[in-house]
Amino acid sequence: MRFILSALIFPLAVASANAQITYDIKLKMTAGVGQTTTNKYSDTDSGSAKFLDPQGNLIDEVKPEVAVIELCTTVLAVGPEGRATKFLRSYKKASYSKDGKNLTRSYGGRTLLFEKKDGQYRIGVVGKADLAADDISNLADVVNQKSDWDAIVAWLAPGRPVKVGEEWKLDPKTVLADVTDYKLDPAKSTITAKLTKVLQKEKSQFGIIEVEAKIAAIGAYEVVTFATPAIVEHSGTLEVAIDGSSTERIVKHTEVIRGKGAFETAEKKGTLELDVKSVSTSSTTAEVADPLAIVVPKVEWVTGPEVWIEFASKENGFRVQFPGVPKQDKAGGDPPKLQFLLPTNRDRAAYFVMVTETKGMTAAVMATFAAAETVQKKTEISLNGFSGTEFIQDKKQGETSITIIQRAYVVNDRIIQVMLAHEKSLKVDQKRFFDSFQLLEKPKKDN
């Protein structure tokens, strides 16, 4: 009996002793200069984001996607805050599904250079810079936006020793201060973390940290306003080296956002309905020194403040320079528009070229431009024998003052609009954009 009791008591004593051990958590989230890590990421979305016009008609719907990324990252420079300011990424795999189709990003199998300049990362492509415009935009968003989940992970260490099973709270005001994708209300947000387990892996001490957060969003991407805050719920588990000795980690994360808000851009306004769930898993290996990997290859830059790219659409009859690669989509409306769009400076400016097949409605469409309440100035212009009108507008978007410059040309059976919308306080090279625009057609001769 004494033996049995001792067998029971001994594990309890050990457990009690372990419960008293405290751990000073240190996380190494970025490799050092000249070090390479292998990263894998998978994400599955469900639900949707619906954009409705003021009458409640569906304008657009962002549907679920599945993404799988595998890449190697080599750090070339680190800033004072400990984050990489220059790094290479070699994409072994970059796939996603859309509308039931399995697709590959154009940067799959390619090597890209990311370098921070003037507060933003610019992107350079090794070899021919023939990436799809949507993929360039996607990469720029991923690398430049600071999400609330990334901020939580960056501030996760409690700053004091904690025991297994102990919970600590993160200060939302501090954690969410630099988030760029949402406008958040820290006072209505909560973030908690708990160390649930400690284990030894070779020479590193690992821990499992559980994270729960409810974040109140009052706006998004500077064009959406939530009268009643949208709630972003995060639930995550990190298996990570807690002694700061390794970048090795596995992160499982679920994000749910629900809410309804009003949106307004230079071209559209209406209601955004959000009901989206994202489930992701990411892994990062321990860092490895690779002397050959730090040799910086020659690249062709595709984003950055100094990058202007000539873009031509022969089928639509124009040529223009954009400060980056524009995205092409259908802008909707009646009559419908074909839109070439490039947002810049975290959506603080947007460059447009829009083509509208007027179908006998040319005068009516031009009249709607002139009738806009915010038009301060209207000037008749011409280009290559085609007549047009320049409209200058100043308007309020929330608390932000926006300037819109539009040149609309009547080109045979359609209207081509060249437009720049930007925050009034932001410096933009409007002269280069508008002066570079050329029409490739000639006016039709009257019979």
CB 197 within 8 A of CB 207: yes
The contacts of residue 30 (CB under 8 Å, 6+ apart) are: 75, 78, 82, 83, 84, 247
- Rounded Cα distance between 382 and 222, Å, is 35
pLDDT attached to residue 447: 39
- Rounded Cα distance between 112 and 109, Å, is 10
CB 95 within 8 A of CB 68: yes
pLDDT attached to residue 372: 66
pLDDT attached to residue 407: 94
Q: How far is CA 229 from CA 166, 171, 216, 441, in A?
A: 30, 19, 6, 50
pLDDT attached to residue 6: 44
Bridge partners, residue 224, by sequence? 220, 263
- Spans in the chain with pLDDT lower than 70: 1-19, 266-267, 305-306, 331-335, 346, 360, 370-374, 398, 445-447
SS (H, E, C) 12-43: HHHHHHHHHCEECCECCCCCCCCEEEEEEEEE
Say if pTM beats, i.e. exceeds, 0.85: no
pLDDT attached to residue 131: 87
Handedness of CA 390, 394, 396, 399 (dihedral sign): positive
pLDDT attached to residue 14: 45
Tell me the percentage of the chain whose pLDDT exceeds 90: 53
The contacts of residue 28 (CB under 8 Å, 6+ apart) are: 241, 244, 245, 246, 247
pLDDT attached to residue 395: 83
pLDDT attached to residue 287: 96
pLDDT attached to residue 245: 96
Bridge partners, residue 98, by sequence? 101
pLDDT attached to residue 339: 86
